[in-house]
Amino acid sequence: MKTKKQILQPHDVERILKEEGWDNIARSTITRWCQSGKLQANKFNGHYYINRAHFEETILEPLRAAIGTEQSETH
């Protein structure tokens, strides 16, 4: 059984967002989200470690909801 990682790095967030169809999100944007506190993350040895549950709740779910709303309005 494959389990989800609970801690992500910016490259993981970038990959997940690209899989969701958000190709225009740059890794620098994700780093900026970490720096500003938009994403719950800790910096250790120069690398950000992001709480996956917080990422899914604050970024991923709203993006999915926006896509769902946008698609339902066009059909």
What are the boundaries of each domain within the chain?
Answer: 7-74
Residue 31 to residue 73: CA distance in whole angstroms? 32
The mean pLDDT value of the chain amounts to 87
5 pLDDT band, cuts 50/70/90, is: confident
User: What is the pLDDT at residue 16?
Assistant: 94
Checking if the pLDDT of 51 tops 80, the result is yes
User: What is the pLDDT at residue 35?
Assistant: 96
Number of C-beta neighbours around residue 59 at 10 A:
21
Q: Name the phi and psi angles at 60, rounded to 5.
A: -70, -50
Buried b (16+ CB within 10 A) or exposed e, 18-48: eeeeeeebeeeebbebbeeeebbbeeeeeeb
